[in-house]
Copies of this chain bind each other. A is one copy, B any other.
Amino acid sequence: MATIEFWYEFASPYSYFSFMRIEPLAEKAGATIKYQPFLLGPVFKQFGWDTSPFLIFKQKGDYFFRDIEREADFYNLPLKMPEQFPIHSLLAARTALIGFEKGWGVEFSKAVYTKAFGEGGDVSNKGEIAKILESLNVGDVADILAAAGAQENKQKMRDVSARAIELNIFGAPTFIVGNELYWGNDRLEKAIFS
């Protein structure tokens, strides 16, 4: 059974689309999904970018905001953009790492995406992440947030960033199947049925 590594960033609407689409596709393909939340920040730093390229390159950004509307319609997914873009996704990503250790990483990630891009909520906010954790009933929220912010978990997040750079990942979502890397929600089907 093939494994598809799914690298996703909570600040990325195209990652949101893939997250909401990947499960049935993987089932159909008989593929196992290895979920990997990561941060684009350290990756973009290599290019000299200190924010989203959609803010740096205005034309691309204008296009992006229209394209994700059309794509959301196409996939029949709700889309409401948060007021702040890009989202600060560090806390969500660190919490997701804890989630994958504990067995609730997938449902947490899905809830974050639904809040962020389905409802336009502010998931950079600790209170919002706490509410999501509460609603999922996955344990003591204060303990989870403490674990997310602990040195050990911060180091894990840095290791993920280092690995992303090592793998030449340059955007999100990224899919890795064997030695092949695929970039973009547009490539999900090609990656999974490769």
Contacts and interface: CB of A to CB of B under 8 A. Distances in A.
A98 B85 CA distance: 45
Given A74-B190, A190-B70, A170 B47 contact: no
Contacts of A170: 57, 59-60, 63
Interface in A45-67: 46-47, 57, 59-60, 62-63, 66-67
B168 A59 contact: yes
Interface of A: 46-47, 57, 59-60, 62-63, 66-67, 70, 74, 168-171, 180-184, 186, 190
Secondary structure at the A interface, as helix, strand, loop or mixed, is mixed
Contacts of A181: 63, 66
B190 A59 contact: no
A14 to B, nearest CB: 12
User: Closest 10 interchain pairs by CB?
Assistant: A59-B170, A186-B186, A59-B168, A60-B170, A47-B57, A63-B183, A62-B168, A63-B181, A57-B170, A63-B170
